[in-house]
Amino acid sequence: MVSKKTRFWILIGLVTISGFSQGMLLPLLAVILEQNGVSSSINGIHATALYIGILISSPFMEKPLQRFGYKPVIMFGGALVFVSLAFFPIWQSLWFWFALRMMVGIGDQILHFGTQTWITATAEEKSRGKSIAYYGLFFSVGFTLGPLMTNLLSISMYLPFVLSALLSFMVWGTMWWVRNEMPPGEYTTAHGTSSFKRFGSAIRMGWVAFLPPMTYGFLEATLHGIFPVYGMRIGHDVTMLSFIIPAFAAASLLSQIPLGALSDHFGRKKIIISVVLGGIIAFTMAAFLEGSIIGLFATFAIGGLFVGSLFSLGISFMTDLLPKELLPAGNILCGMSFSLGSIGGPFLTGIFIDLFPGVSLFYTIVILLIIVLIATIVKRSPHHK
């Protein structure tokens, strides 16, 4: 059986592959469906399947964790991902693929819930932010590399699915060497109360920590899903846009660990306020410089440096605000907040583009960041930490 440190890196490997499968499916299926003549509105609705899977599975994951421990839950989630990926080439149908996409979402969420709760429950308090920053960093690495699989479409439509299923299976296989652990005793004693009661307590005590993951989901889905449409409408070339969009995720890779370490030192609240302020400035600049390719590239990169770490900062903040027995509920709510942001982002910004064609898309992002900034400033710090 492996050491605690090796276990941490195996869990991080699983998170990377989860990010990879999500990052691959979004553009890959969008391109295939577009080539098959599927309308953009149906294509957009199809893309929500992953996040619908995440949302519908979220409330049902605590009980299996209490009963079976971390390892079986993670292995089940991982198996669901690679089996679903392997099934894509079997039958090319819109509804079959929608169902498979949803299954990948469910598997990913189970995988995330297991790994995230294990990491947050076992991370030392003095280095918690840094440990969770690794989690966010490697999810982003996977998410950034995933879209590269679309290049394999020129060889065969099924090659990306087969390769990613094999890759997922290989990483999943390393879990066999990890010893199962049960959640700490206090998790189980809290399980006497109903799930909804505990979700209610978690929201009441830690609501402010769920805003950063939601904002990150909103940003990521809007910049990947709606910005390309908006960029083309304001006269930019598709090839240029494909260089601008990854600048956000790539820049966030540079700042995840430093920001996590800084939040351990100066406190989560101060760092979240600082990065959100930086994001407001970056996207306000983007609104003024949107006619320039260089301007957009620079503002996306600056935005990524600041707000690209909101997901992992939010998880760390949630871990600070909630007592240990509410951590599983808190981790589920972080995933649900991210999904709501991911579904809401393209939907709301899509409506905004249609209603206000002369107004910059980036103002929707700035308004959201201002709301998060005010909420974080208003929320008082907990007394128990």
- Those residues with Cβ within 8 angstroms of residue 232's Cβ, 6 or more apart along the chain or in another chain: 238, 241
- For residue 188, what pLDDT is reported? 45
Rounded to whole angstroms, the Cα distance separating 29 from 46 reads: 9
On whether the CB atoms of residues 183 and 117 are closer than 8 A, the answer is yes
Angle at 33 between CA 341 and CA 98, to 5 degrees: 55
pTM, 2 dp? 0.80
* CA nearest neighbour of 197 among 118, 205, 116, 314: 205
On whether the CB atoms of residues 332 and 113 are closer than 8 A, the answer is yes
Cα-based distances in Å from 245 to 144, 170, 202, 241: 10, 30, 34, 6
On whether the CB atoms of residues 283 and 365 are closer than 8 A, the answer is yes
- For residue 26, what pLDDT is reported? 76
What tokens were used for 329? 């509920």
- For residue 197, what pLDDT is reported? 81
Rounded to whole angstroms, the Cα distance separating 55 from 216 reads: 16
- For residue 295, what pLDDT is reported? 93
How many other CB atoms are there within 10 angstroms of residue 345's CB atom?
26
Domain segments of the chain as ranges? 1-183, 192-380
What tokens were used for 9? 């890196």
On whether the CB atoms of residues 105 and 49 are closer than 8 A, the answer is yes
Alpha-carbon torsion angle 278, 280, 281, 286, nearest 10: 120
CATH number of 192-380: 1.20.1250.20
- Could you tell me how many helices (H) and strands (E) the chain has, helices first? 17, 0
pLDDT by residue for the chain (385 residues), tens only, comes to 778 888 889 999 998 988 888 878 877 887 777 777 777 667 777 777 888 888 888 778 878 888 888 999 999 999 999 999 999 888 888 889 999 999 998 998 898 888 888 887 877 777 777 888 888 888 888 887 887 787 787 888 889 889 989 999 999 999 999 888 887 765 543 444 556 788 888 899 999 999 999 999 999 888 877 787 788 778 887 777 777 888 888 898 899 889 989 998 998 999 999 999 999 999 999 999 988 999 999 999 999 999 999 998 998 899 889 988 888 888 889 888 988 898 888 778 878 887 888 889 899 999 999 999 999 999 776 544 4
Which three-class secondary structure state does DSSP give residue 234? coil
Rounded to whole angstroms, the Cα distance separating 60 from 57 reads: 6
- For residue 190, what pLDDT is reported? 42
- For residue 221, what pLDDT is reported? 82
- For residue 384, what pLDDT is reported? 42
- For residue 194, what pLDDT is reported? 58
- For residue 285, what pLDDT is reported? 96
Q: Does domain 1-183 have CATH number 1.20.1250.20?
A: yes
Where on the phi/psi map is residue 236: left (φ > 0), alpha (ψ -120 to 50), or beta? beta
- For residue 383, what pLDDT is reported? 46
